Amino acid sequence: MNDSDHDLSPNRGSCGGKPACSGESSVGPMDVPRREMDDLSSAATDRIHRFMAESTVRGGASPADVADLYTSQEIVDDDYATAYLDRRFVHGEVLADWRSFQDSLSAAYLDAQTGTSAETLLERMRRDEGHRRAQRSIFDDPDEDELLLLEGQTERLDGRDPLLTDLTGEARRAIERHIISEVLCYGVAPYKVMQLREGLRADGDERALQYLDLPFELGDRPTDWDGLRDLALMVRARLEGLGIDPSGAFSQADTMHPTVDASELLSLLDERDLGR
C-alpha cells in the first residue's frame, strides 16, 4: 500500500471538484503557504495521523472521510492546517512529510496481524518512535572517544569481509532482525531490503552496506548469517510442529519486544514465552 492508494483527486469532491465542500478558491499551488506538518498544532497533526491510519487499514479514503477531516475541530482550530491539507487534496502535491509517515504506516500495517485497528497501528508507531528517541537520548550521547570508535565501526573493511560482530550495535540488530524475519515469515518483500539499505545509507554506515553486499550482490552469505539462519530454521520447525504460525508468532514477538537482540528473540519464540 502506498500514498497513491489514498489519492483523492480534486474532481472527485462533491462541490465542483473541491473536497469537503470547501468552496471555490482562486489560490493556486504557488500561492499556498509552504507549511509542513511540523508547523501544525499537535492536535491537528494527531488528527491527520489518525485519518492516515484509518485510510491505511480501510484500504483508502472516501470523499466523506476527507470531508470529516477538513471539518474536524482539530483542523478548524489550527491556523495552518487547512492550507496544508489543500496542498495535498486540492493541488495534489506529494508532501514529503506525508509520504514519509504513510510509508512507515504501510510498513507497520504489512507487518501487523490481520484486523489491526487504526489505533493499534498508531500505538505501534508511537512505541517505535519512543524506542528510537530513547536510543538517541541526550543522556546517552557518546563522548568524543566513543564517537571516534563508532565512526571507525562504520568504515569499510579492507583485506577481509566484515562479520556481524564488526558492525555497530544498531546495524547488527537491524540485519539480524532481517535474517530471522526472512526465515520465520517465509521470505520478505523486496522493499524491506531496500528499506534496510536506505536506513544504513542514511546513517553513513559503509561497513554494514559492505556486509549486505555479500549475500545480495555477490551471492555469498557470511558464515554468521548462515548460523543465525540455521537457528531461525530450527525455531520455525518447532513452531510448525506445535501448529503455530511462525510468521504470526514473529510478528507478535517483534511487536512486544522491539529492542531485544536476535538471539533473545529466537529464545522467546522457541520457548513460546511471548508474554514475558
Q: What is the DSSP string of the chain?
A: --GGGG---GGGSSBTTBGGG-------GGGS----GGGS-HHHHHHHHHHHHHHHHHTS--HHHHHHHHHSHHHHT-TTHHHHHHHHHTS----HHHHHHHHHHHHHHHHSPTT--HHHHHHHHHHHHHHHHHHT-GGG---HHHHHHHHHHTSPPSSS---GGGS-HHHHHHHHHHHHHHHHTTS--HHHHHHHHHHHHHTT-HHHHHHHHHHHTS----HHHHHHHHHHHHHHHHHHHTT--HHHHHHHHHHH-TTS-HHHHHHHHHHT-TT-
| Residue boundaries of the structural domains of the chain | 3-108, 145-271
- According to the model, what pLDDT value does residue 143 have? 52
> pLDDT means per 10 residues in the chain (276 residues)?
45 42 44 76 93 90 94 94 93 86 81 80 75 51 48 82 90 91 89 87 90 90 91 92 90 80 83 51
Please give the pLDDT value at position 14. Answer: 39
- Overall pTM surpassing 0.85 (yes/no): no
